[in-house]
Structure 1
């Protein structure tokens, strides 16, 4: 139940040509407290509730618990969330042995494009595609919960 991931800014839209899947995501936060974030997400025809703990010192690892819930329940729960829903399209891109999840944000976070890669360990080696930019793993302003309260377009 420990998630290990790294986040990067994306420097070009070349990833779209390499994507094998794409889905529209809307997510909100019942709690955006970094100690115990509670996220509700709709992802196409599925709904999810996720609880995340505070990240470790590197920002790469943290507790994560996620369960699929009926879409109707997720849609209802989104109405109870804090202001600042996140709207994005997620592209899945296979690079070497890993899959990057590349999020193109819309609404108040339009213009932001980030890629995440989940790893088995913090020191795991992975390939970096040419469109991958600066690493922002430990920069909390790029966390979705932060973006919901402090949108990218207002920086």
Structure 2
């Protein structure tokens, strides 16, 4: 149940041509404390509840537990969430042995484009596409829980 991921800003939309899938995502937080976030997510027509622990000193590794829940339950729980629902479209882009998840944010986070890659080891090699920009793995302002409270358009 350990999640190992790295986050990067994206400097061009060239990745869209390489995408194998696009998903609409709405998510909110029942608890956005960094020590234990509790997220409700609707991805296309499926609901999920996710609990994440605090990241390690590098920000790459943390506890993550996720369970699919009924769509109507997810919609009801989303209404109970803290202020600041995240709206984004996620593109899946295969690169080598990995898949990048690239999010184009909408609403109050419009203008932000960020890529994530999940790894099996924090030091695992992965192919870096030319559309990747600065790494922001350890910068909490790029965490979705932070963006729900302090949106990108207000920076």
TM-score by length of 2: 1.00
Structure 2 equivalent of residue 54 of structure 1: 54
Structure 2 equivalent of residue 153 of structure 1: 153
Deviations 1:70-128 (A, max 9, x none): 11100000000000000000000001110000000000000000000000000100000
TM-score by length of 1: 1.00
Structure 1 equivalent of residue 102 of structure 2: 102
Structure 2 equivalent of residue 80 of structure 1: 80
- Give the whole-Å Cα distance in 2 for the aligned partners of 1:28 and 1:83: 8
Instruction: Please report how far the alpha carbon of residue 45 of structure 1 lies from its aligned counterpart in structure 2 after TM superposition.
Output: 1.0
- Give the whole-Å Cα distance in 1 for the aligned partners of 2:45 and 2:54: 29
Q: Secondary structure at the match of 1:72?
A: helix
Q: Which runs of 5+ in 1 are unaligned?
A: none
Work out the number of aligned pairs and report it.
155
- Give the whole-Å Cα distance in 1 for the aligned partners of 2:2 and 2:107: 30
- Give the whole-Å Cα distance in 2 for the aligned partners of 1:4 and 1:71: 27
Task: Report runs of 4+ in structure 1 exceeding 3 Å deviation.
Answer: none
Structure 2 equivalent of residue 127 of structure 1: 127
